[in-house]
Structure 1
Amino acid sequence: MSDITIKHVRYQNLGWETAADLYLPPGFDATKQYPAVVSTHPIGSCKEQTSGNVYGAGLAREGFVVIAFDASFQGASGGEPRFMEDPSIRVSDIRYAIDYLVTLPYVDPARIGAIGICGGGAYTVHAAITDHRIKALVSITGVNFGRLIREGFSNFQPVAALQAMAAQRTAEAQGSARQVINYLPASVEEGRAAGLTDIDVLEATEYYKTARGQQPNGATSGLFSFNSAAFGWDAFLHAEVLLTQPLLVIIGDKPGAFGAYRDGWEIHGRAASPDKQIYVAEGWSHYDLYDKPEPVALAMAQAVPFLQKHL
């Protein structure tokens, strides 16, 4: 990546610091002002994976300053207890990333956009609904975590799951060890042996659990007792009224259990944005869009001119 510069930064969040990577364009000149993009990673991921090394780097090469950050309680960012996946705080993380960007003299505060992948895509949508400093947004195979946890992640038994989480949180408050779950099997082979057949689960495992995408902080872990916060959350709440910025939704046409295909069409339909587009990458799946050169090139061919136009 000699054509771009990556700068490691830390900045204040609520009661802790966020760790982030700034991707600076080729020939970066600190005396100029650039359009900037906040890039938000998937659930269980980290800034060194698709949000940073793929889309962050790719957008920087096209002239954007990009910030890819680790979610609070995850990766190299602060916050306790570890491995919390609280949608409200994840959305707040995006706002704090914007707060940091607007302090940089080489960022034009009137030209800030946002992009997110998987759960990060839907978090980006939710952030843009109420933070209109985001002037344009791109959701790459975005997944509404609230819907997913009420459905597949709770085996379609959300009340039973909430009751189990309530009991576990009480036990932890009384001194029991934290229960950290792994969202994925240890390997594709282990998953198949357990009878798993869904394309999203198996391809996620192939991405996160092999050299293809594996990173030390890409833990694919969640704190079980704190996952209850997501059950009452909808990434697309009030999009029909408040999401007015230009919106680009990118999905693959191979649907899987995580639901990016259906969520993509849903937010495209619900958004109030006068300028909204949906692009379906034919022949490609959710996890192909994370890092495989051909589908990523298709996504970038849509995202780059869209962001250049609106930022």
Structure 2
Amino acid sequence: MQKVKFKNRNWDTVAHLHLPDNFDESQKYPAIVCVHPGSSVKEQTAGLYAGKFASKGFIAVAYDASFQGESGGEPRYLEDPATRVEDIRYAVDYLITLNFVDKEHIGLLGICAGGGYAANAAMTEKRIKAVGTVVGTNTGRAFREINFIETLKAVSSQRTAEAKGAEPMITNWTPNSAEEAKQAGIKEKDMLEAIDYYRTPRGEYPTANNKLLFTSMANLIKFDAFHLADVLLKQPLLVIVGDKVGAFGSYRDGFELYNKAASKSKQIHIVKGASHYDLYDKPEATAEALDKLVPFFQENLLQA
């Protein structure tokens, strides 16, 4: 693995480039861009999948989204779907500059919100030849189910305050601990598992600091990751979901994407007994996902 940087508009994206075993710079390799969830960074689940792909002969890149982690961009902690989609294009731009990447065989994997961004990017980024999602989520759909009009009013009030000199409001993606969630009366499985992954030694990482610029909510609420998938998403598609369904909605989003995509070659795989966050890092669940993803990418990138 190499730590690399590539330009994204006028700031740097910081990434990890995962290289195959016995890497030979004189050879050409297919490549996969791995897109992390909201609130995440390259060292977490996207990096786990990237490392596994590299062990199977692919070049894989996992990067920090703009405004987050080690990547540049202002304002900090902004989660902007349009920029998240553009990040993917810049990652592809970077890969095609590498002499050892087969430019005609680039794939894309997205996890959770990254899955929605991946599907959306692939609709118009035709350098991407195959798309996989793991518990892919349509973030806009999720946020529109939670008092979204009141949230938009609050965003408008906050923007007015900031225009008059107030400090930007930074909120949390999740409560900082299970105890904090308990005190807030939160009992929902996906949220509690998110805390267990992101806010404990299981998956926490210093640059995944649980910070979200509150005004991001306006762009998140209006975003529909799957809009026009029935017209524009034509690459081979593999959707991975778990059947332990939680409130984040990745199970139904997975089926919506599968049913809607215009792809002639598409499949959906359900990992039995797996929750949303099991598919981030739990060995049994991720192994089953990879048992489907690796041959999918081999067929569509190595043999295409």
Give the TM-score range, shorter chain. Answer: over 0.9
Counterpart pick for 2:101 among 104, 107, 110: 107
- Paired with 1:227 and 1:56, the residues of 2 have a C-alpha distance of 29
Counterpart pick for 1:13 among 8, 11, 21: 8
- Paired with 1:36 and 1:73, the residues of 2 have a C-alpha distance of 25
Alpha-carbon deviation of 1:174? 2.0
Cα deviation code 1:248-269 (max 9, x no counterpart): 0000001111110010000000
Q: Give the letter for the 1:248 counterpart.
A: L
Cα deviation code 1:177-196 (max 9, x no counterpart): 11111011111132123221
Q: CA RMSD in A?
A: 0.8
Q: Which moved more, 1:263-272 or 1:212-221?
A: 212-221
Q: Give the letter for the 1:150 counterpart.
A: R
Cα deviation code 1:190-212 (max 9, x no counterpart): 21232211111000000001000
After TM superposition, the structure 1 = structure 2 runs for residues 287-298 of structure 1, keeping only pairs within 5 Å, are 287-298=277-288
Secondary structure of the residue aligned to 1:163 is: helix
- Paired with 1:258 and 1:14, the residues of 2 have a C-alpha distance of 32
Alpha-carbon deviation of 1:35? 0.2
Q: Corresponding residue for 2:181?
A: 191
Secondary structure of the residue aligned to 1:143 is: coil
Aligned residues: 301
Counterpart pick for 1:256 among 246, 251, 257: 246
Segments ≥4 residues shifted beyond 3 Å: none
- Paired with 2:53 and 2:3, the residues of 1 have a C-alpha distance of 17
| Identity, % of aligned positions | 51
Q: Corresponding residue for 1:168?
A: 158
Counterpart pick for 1:25 among 15, 20, 40: 20
Cα deviation code 1:62-88 (max 9, x no counterpart): 000001000000000000110000000
- Paired with 2:36 and 2:163, the residues of 1 have a C-alpha distance of 30
Mark the runs of 5 or more structure 1 residues left unpaired by the alignment. 1-5
Counterpart pick for 1:233 among 214, 223, 247: 223
Q: Corresponding residue for 1:48?
A: 43
The 8 Å contact of residues 43 and 220 in structure 1, kept in 2 or not, is answered as no
Q: Corresponding residue for 1:210?
A: 200
Mark the runs of 5 or more structure 2 residues left unpaired by the alignment. none
Counterpart pick for 1:92 among 74, 83, 86: 86
Please report the TM-score for the alignment, with normalisation by the length of structure 1: 0.95
Cα deviation code 1:253-307 (max 9, x no counterpart): 0111111001000000000001110000000100000000000000000000000
- Paired with 2:66 and 2:155, the residues of 1 have a C-alpha distance of 21
Secondary structure of the residue aligned to 2:222 is: coil
